[in-house]
Structures are given as C-alpha cells and as structure tokens.
C-alpha cells in the first residue's frame, strides 16, 4: 500500500473545504461575483521581461517542511516592498491549515500594489476557480500532481482562461510538462520541491527547462535561496523565478528582489 504523502493530506483537507463552497447560496454568489469582476491585470505580460529575469515574490507565512517562516508578516508592507524592488508579480498562499495563509492576505495584497497577483492554493474543483476570480486574483495555480486526470486539468484550465484568469500549471517531471502542454498551458512552472517528500533539487529545473517551448513562459519554483540560485535558473532558460522563503525571512526584501530582477536570462531555443 502506498504511503500517504503530505500532498495527499493537503488535498483531502482541501476537498473537505470545497464542500462548504458548494452550498447553493455560496456557489451562486461566487459565480456571480466572478463573472462581474473587473478586468484582471496581465500576469503573462508582466513575466515577459526579456532579456531580464522576472521575479514573482511570494507572501508565505509557513510551510509543512520548514514550519513557521514569518507568522507575523505585515502583508501590505511586504507586498509594497516587493513592488518597490521591481517584482513583476506577487504570489499569495491562501491555504490556512498547512501554510498559514488566508483569502484576507490576497485581498490586502490586491489593494496594496498595482502589479498582478497570483493566488497560490490547491485547486481541485471548479468552484475554487470562480472563487479565485471573485477574490480579485489575476492568476491561479493548477498543480499537475494534484490533478492526475488529464480531462479535469484541461477543464479547470479552460474555465480559468474563459473567466479571465491567467493559469500557472505547476509540474515536477517530464510527463507533467507534457500533460500541461496538452491542457493548453501557456505558463508552466517547474517545482524543485517534490510535493510528496518535500525533497529539493534545483538540478531538476535545469534539466526540465529545455522541455518547455520558447513561446511558453517558464517559471522556476522553490529552493531559490539566493541571488546565485536565481541566476542559475535564469541561465537554464527560465523566464521567471517564484521566491518565497528567502524573501519573507529577509530584512531587506526590496534589495533582494531588485538584485534578482537585474539578472539577465538565457533564452530557450
């Protein structure tokens, strides 16, 4: 019998959460608010900074592998510090049980900055797509490992696109990149952290970057703890890096973001 991974635990908790969103009054309100929401900010365009590396700076309070990172994080102040450093976009973790986030964090960031905002959570159901749009996010995360059915991944991707969200599809191996492309992904992330074991390997990104077509935006996620790590990913052909732990623990996040945003990237063939 396969051991239950951290990802399995998170997904089960998320499915339980989603049942609350399917109460008729809540479901109808979210759909209505999503369809009436104002235009989104262009997440994909913000990540096209050729020849420079784009930085997605993350609001992250806690992680299952590292525990508390920044439990008392001042979200609006941090978001503005990221923007001042030249962040292209901001990612906000909204999962509460495992990452200490909330939809309030997303709301505060959306109103504190002018750059696009990514909602980072574990999306398993279409109602979460409507919720994400209703909350004011500009982009949504779909994790290939959390959505093993190809049709389900494609359906969620299509719905998100239809209602105006950009979609970041997260992958961590060759087959998941293929699945993402079949689903229509125009933005693909490679997570250096295995969500089953939480082991990290930046070499994974170096190997997988070349499998992402040049016209698709490629984002290196996780395990980036220095400007040198960001430069390593830029040298592998990534268009952007998504950085959380390093920045929320930094006493000078504006300077850290600025240093990464000045890195010249190597274009993929």
Active-site hit among 120, 131, 236, 245: 120
Active-site hit among 63, 91, 191, 236: 191
Q: How far apart are CA 34 and CA 48, in angstroms?
A: 26
Active-site hit among 14, 60, 63, 245: 60
Q: How far apart are CA 234 and CA 220, in angstroms?
A: 9
Active-site hit among 108, 170, 176, 256: 170
The residues that bridge with 221 in the sheet, in sequence order, are: 191, 242
Active-site hit among 14, 58, 83, 131: 58
172: exposed, middle or buried (C-beta count within 10 Å: 0-12, 13-18, 19+)?
buried
Q: How far apart are CA 217 and CA 189, in angstroms?
A: 8
The tokens 């969500």 sit on which residue?
195
Active-site residue, 170 included: yes
Active-site hit among 14, 83, 91, 222: 222
CB 250 within 8 A of CB 60: no
Active-site hit among 206, 221, 245, 256: 221
Q: How far apart are CA 55 and CA 58, in angstroms?
A: 9
Provide CB contacts within 8 A for 76, sequence distance 6+. 108, 109, 111, 112
Active-site residue, 14 included: no
Active-site residue, 60 included: yes
Active site positions, annotated: 58, 60, 120, 170, 191, 221-222
């Amino acid at each position: 019998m396969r051991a239950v991974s951290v990802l399995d635990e998170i997904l089960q908790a998320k499915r339980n959460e989603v049942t609350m969103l399917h109460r008729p009054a809540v479901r109808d309100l979210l759909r209505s608010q999503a369809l009436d929401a104002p235009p989104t900010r262009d997440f994909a365009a913000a990540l096209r900074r050729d020849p420079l590396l784009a930085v997605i700076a993350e609001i992250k309070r806690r992680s299952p592998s590292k525990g508390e990172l920044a439990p008392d994080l001042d979200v609006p102040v941090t978001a503005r510090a990221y923007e001042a450093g030249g962040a292209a976009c901001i990612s906000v973790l909204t999962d509460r049980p495992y990452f200490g986030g909330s939809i309030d964090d997303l709301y505060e960031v959306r109103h504190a900055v002018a750059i696009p905002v990514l909602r980072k959570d574990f999306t398993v159901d279409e109602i979460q797509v409507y919720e994400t749009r209703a909350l004011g996010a500009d982009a949504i995360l779909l994790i290939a490992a959390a959505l093993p059915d190809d049709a389900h991944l494609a359906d969620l991707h299509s719905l998100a696109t239809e209602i105006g969200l950009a979609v970041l599809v997260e992958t961590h191996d060759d087959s998941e990149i293929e699945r993402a492309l079949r689903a229509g992904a125009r933005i693909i992330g490679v997570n250096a952290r295995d969500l089953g074991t939480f082991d990290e390997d930046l070499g994974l990104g170096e190997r997988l970057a070349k499998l992402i077509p040049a016209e698709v935006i490629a984002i290196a996620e996780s395990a980036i703890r220095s400007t040198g790590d960001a430069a390593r990913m830029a040298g592998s052909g990534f268009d952007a890096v998504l950085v959380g732990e390093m920045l929320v623990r930094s006493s000078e996040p504006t300077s850290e973001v600025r240093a990464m945003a000045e890195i010249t990237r190597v274009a993929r063939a």
